[in-house]
């Protein structure tokens, strides 16, 4: 007798609930399966990162003395699915009489897991994923039956519960949220810090070869892969971030610069989401660094808020609203995703930069995701399903629990305002204020009409006009509608005509 413990690719944490009570005779199963790499055609770098991290994690468990049964993608008998590999593993280990797993990050996989017991004829225990700091029950207690949720309320509860940056019942410094200090553009004299590189070892090089052979026609590039893939290197990266980049993280959190994909962002999301780092320990480092005076409060608070606030909040929304959250489309957006999202081949420099950096790194920072890429999809009325697929494919940190609420709720307002009070719609002026992209663009961000006008400008006013009634009803956007009404009607007509022509000429993607 013994237990088969099935660990998925985004569960690479030694403290995982399914690994907690390992006993002699138990076997840990890990499997590289084709279905997970192709149910959407993930960025090559995301697949390589995850396979390399999985292989190293298996090595760490073995070094500790655990028995690990690891199925590689190239195994000729590989069935390409989680369910198939579970069944095959039980044939190899007939003495194991039960299965333990930790709940997955995607609805689709939970549905699979719920069928396993009947399929394999042995008990399957699905444990909660307590790497998250808020359980499903705690989120349900917070959200109740509410039709609209506010991250800020949730976040204050999480601060109280974790005690991070608290003095008793009060937030350190007297304010819960210092976001108003975190909106500075980047002055020319401030340079982004040099990042540490993690050279691929033999194991990672084998994975890079495997991925380029099997998935070389997927989006993006593997060139210069230097991301951490072990617990050891992930901790080193976290230490580097806390010491070097975090002090400026808050102040320049919303800034963008040509040719600078990372700035002062942590670049930790993929490591946290696959389990190599725990969200709690990342926050503890930031809190401790603030305690020593090395990191200002606006940086520490901003970072902690992203993790115990936004990250936990979107996860709560995903599980509360699934399965139909995937199909929400409150603004009835139906346009196909433009082809240039896959090539970066567009004259809109801010988009070209963000897409090309994404192809190179499987990463874009939050403001590129929200205010450039997301803003464009919102203004252009791109179908939420197409936008969800793109975001799930292209980023190395993307899993449905975090990608979907950010796309459906945060950028597209497709949930009608459940997750965010208002659509994050903005004209070119916002991008101009927060970046130098417009200096390198063929369009003129100051112009609203004519051949050279920045498309974000006329698309913005066309969006406001299209959704006039909804925006007028919302007290946070009512002023935008008043501004619309003050525009010269002939000018508005011209902008709407430009928007019509621009949108009509967009080359639709034939799905990637
Ligand atoms: P930092 O800027 O350094 O932030 C620190 C950490 O906070 C991140 O590592 C992440 O764990 C967390 N965080 C910050 N913002 C969010 C947020 N909105 N939701 C959840 N966690 C957050 N993040 C993902 O991890 N996976 C996704 O698939 C993903 N898709 C997104 C899609 C859209 C449309 C938008 C607007 C945001 C998305 N995000 C996603 C959130 C955020 O953009 C990324 O977490 C962040 O850019 C990752 O880079 P970083 O680690 O340098 O983050
Ligand atoms: C994303 C991904 C990929 C590309 N490949 C695998 C894999 O081969 N084996 C595995 O266990 N997990 C993989 N994953 C992560 C899963 O898709 C993830 O565990 C589920 O989406 C649930 O969050
Ligand atoms: Fe983007 Fe407009 Fe600026 Fe060009 S001018 S970079 S399209 S905001």
The verdict on 163 and 244 lying in the same domain is: yes
Answer whether 357 contacts ligand 1 (Cβ < 6 A): no
Question: Residue 299: which of 266, 327, 329, 273 has the closest Cα?
Answer: 266
Which of left, alpha, beta for 387 (phi over 0: left; psi -120 to 50: alpha)? Answer: alpha
Per the structure, how many domains does the chain have?
3
For the CA atoms of 362, 368, 373, 378, the dihedral, rounded to the nearest 10 degrees, stands at: 140
CATH code, domain with 410: 1.10.579.10
Read off the pLDDT band of 125 (50, 70, 90): very high
CA angle 360, 364, 367 (to 5 degrees): 155
On the question of pLDDT at 342 being above 80, the answer is: yes
- Mutate-to-test residue for ligand 2 from 6, 9, 102, 218, highest number of ligand atoms within 8 A of CB: 9
The verdict on 377 and 490 lying in the same domain is: yes
Which of left, alpha, beta for 282 (phi over 0: left; psi -120 to 50: alpha)? Answer: alpha
Rounded distance from Cα 321 to ligand 2 centre (Å) = 22
CATH code, domain with 158: 1.25.40.80
Q: Which two tokens stand for residue 86?
A: 């579970």
Question: Residue 105: which of 416, 473, 481, 404 has the closest Cα?
Answer: 404
Answer whether 7 contacts ligand 2 (Cβ < 6 A): no
The verdict on 114 and 158 lying in the same domain is: no
Predicted confidence at residue 507, as pLDDT, reads 81
Rounded distance from Cα 396 to ligand 3 centre (Å) = 26
The verdict on 117 and 168 lying in the same domain is: no
Q: Nearest C-alpha to atom 8 of ligand 3 is from which residue? A: 428
Q: Which two tokens stand for residue 459?
A: 């698309």
The verdict on 173 and 307 lying in the same domain is: yes
The verdict on 267 and 345 lying in the same domain is: no
The verdict on 380 and 284 lying in the same domain is: no
Residue-range definition of the domain harbouring residue 80: 3-127
Question: Do the beta carbons of residue 418 and residue 321 sit within 8 Å?
Answer: yes
- Mutate-to-test residue for ligand 3 from 371, 375, 441, highest number of ligand atoms within 8 A of CB: 441
The verdict on 317 and 287 lying in the same domain is: yes
Answer whether 456 contacts ligand 3 (Cβ < 6 A): yes
What is the mean predicted confidence (pLDDT) over 88-113?
98
DSSP 3-state of 70: strand
Read off the pLDDT band of 496 (50, 70, 90): very high
Q: Is residue 210 part of a domain?
A: no
The verdict on 254 and 345 lying in the same domain is: no
Q: Nearest C-alpha to atom 1 of ligand 3 is from which residue? A: 350
The verdict on 106 and 164 lying in the same domain is: no
At CB < 8 A and 24+ separation, what contacts does 159-164 make? 159/304, 159/308, 161/133, 161/134, 162/133, 162/280, 162/283, 162/308, 164/283, 164/284, 164/287, 164/304, 164/308
Answer whether 47 contacts ligand 3 (Cβ < 6 A): no
The verdict on 233 and 307 lying in the same domain is: yes
Q: How far apart are CA 163 and CA 224, in angstroms?
A: 40
Q: Is residue 106 part of a domain?
A: yes
Question: Residue 93: which of 113, 122, 126 has the closest Cα?
Answer: 122
Predicted confidence at residue 510, as pLDDT, reads 59
* Residue at a domain's end among 127, 147, 180: 127
Question: Do the beta carbons of residue 365 and residue 186 sit within 8 Å?
Answer: no
pLDDT in tens, 255-287: 999 999 999 999 999 999 999 999 999 999 999
On the question of pLDDT at 193 being above 70, the answer is: yes
CATH code, domain with 58: 3.40.50.620
* Residue at a domain's end among 265, 292, 321: 321
Predicted confidence at residue 511, as pLDDT, reads 53
Predicted complex ipTM exceeds 0.95: yes
The verdict on 293 and 351 lying in the same domain is: no
Burial of residue 387, with CB atoms counted within 10 A of its CB: 0-12 exposed, 13-18 middle, 19 or more buried: buried
């Amino acid at each position: 007798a013994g237990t088969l413990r099935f660990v998925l690719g985004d569960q690479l944490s030694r403290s995982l609930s399914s690994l907690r009570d390992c006993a002699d005779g138990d076997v840990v199963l890990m499997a590289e399966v084709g279905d997970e790499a192709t149910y959407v055609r993930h960025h090559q770098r995301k697949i390589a990162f995850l396979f390399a991290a999985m292989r190293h994690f298996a090595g760490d468990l073995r070094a500790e003395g655990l028995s690990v049964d690891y199925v590689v993608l190239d195994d000729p008998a590989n069935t390409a699915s989680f369910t198939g590999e579970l069944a095959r593993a039980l044939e190899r280990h007939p003495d194991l009489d039960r299965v333990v797993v930790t709940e997955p990050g995607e609805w689709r996989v939970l549905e699979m897991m719920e069928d396993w017991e009947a399929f394999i004829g042995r008990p399957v225990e699905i444990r909660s994923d307590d790497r998250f700091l808020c359980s499903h029950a705690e989120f349900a207690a917070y959200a109740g039956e509410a039709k609209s949720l506010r991250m800020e309320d949730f976040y204050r509860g999480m601060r109280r519960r974790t005690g991070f940056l608290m003095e008793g019942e009060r937030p350190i410094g007297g304010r819960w949220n210092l976001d108003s200090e975190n909106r500075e553009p980047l002055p020319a004299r401030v340079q982004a810090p040099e990042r540490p590189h993690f050279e691929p070892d033999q194991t990672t090089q084998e994975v890079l070869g495997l991925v380029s052979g099997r998935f070389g026609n997927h989006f993006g590039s593997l060139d210069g892969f230097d991301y951490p893939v072990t617990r050891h290197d992930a901790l080193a990266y976290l230490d580097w971030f806390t010491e070097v980049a975090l002090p400026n993280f808050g102040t320049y959190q919303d800034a963008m610069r040509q040719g600078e994909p990372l700035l002062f962002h942590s670049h930790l999301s993929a490591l946290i989401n696959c389990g190599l780092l725990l969200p709690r320990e990342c926050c503890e480092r930031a809190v401790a660094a603030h305690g020593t005076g090395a990191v200002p409060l606006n940086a520490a608070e901003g970072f902690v808020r992203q993790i115990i606030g936004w990250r936990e909040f979107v996860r709560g929304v995903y599980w509360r609203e699934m399965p139909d959250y995937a199909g929400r489309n409150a603004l009835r957006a139906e346009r196909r995703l433009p082809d240039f999202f896959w090539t970066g081949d567009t004259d809109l420099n801010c988009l070209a930069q963000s897409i090309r950096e994404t192809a190179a790194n499987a990463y874009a920072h939050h403001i590129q995701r929200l205010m450039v890429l997301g803003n464009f999809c919102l203004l252009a009325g791109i179908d939420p399903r197409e936008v969800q697929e793109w975001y799930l494919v292209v980023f190395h940190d993307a899993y449905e629990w975090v990608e979907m609420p950010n796309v459906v709720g945060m950028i597209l307002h497709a949930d009608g305002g459940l997750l965010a009070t208002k659509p994050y719609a903005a004209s070119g002026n916002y991008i101009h204020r927060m970046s130098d992209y417009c200096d390198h663009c063929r369009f003129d961000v100051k112009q609203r009409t004519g051949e050279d006008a920045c498309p974000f400008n006329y698309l913005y006013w066309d969006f406001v006009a299209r959704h006039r009634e909804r925006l007028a009803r919302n007290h946070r956007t009512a002023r935008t509608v008043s501004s619309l009404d003050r525009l010269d009607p002939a000018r508005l007509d011209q902008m709407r005509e430009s928007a019509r022509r621009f949108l009509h000429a967009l080359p639709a993607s034939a799905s990637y």
